[in-house]
Amino acid sequence: MKDMTILKTGIIGSVIAAICCATPVLGLALGALGLSAWLGWIDYVLIPALVLFLVITAYGFWRRERAAACCASDTQSNKRRA
């Protein structure tokens, strides 16, 4: 997977999970759809999902930093050869 794809997936998932962690907002939305019975187990899913997406975001940033450091060292070694 490309670094930006991992980063975008992590950020979008984190934002969605963080918004859904506001259970009253989720309760209103699911209640309007007639799916409020799902709220009994939603906290068991949302917190781990938020943690998972935050880990994916951190991994995306780490890969991006590593790629930038790799490219920076490649350009410095090319300048030394010239």
The answer to whether residue 64 scores a pLDDT higher than 60 is yes
Share of the chain above pLDDT 70, in %: 80
Average pLDDT over residues 5-25: 79
Count Cβ atoms within 10 A of the Cβ of residue 53 and give its class: 0-12 exposed, 13-18 middle, 19 or more buried: buried
Q: Is the pTM of this model over 0.95?
A: no
Strand ranges (E), 1-82 = none
Interval 26-47: pLDDT, tens? 777 778 888 777 777 777 877 8
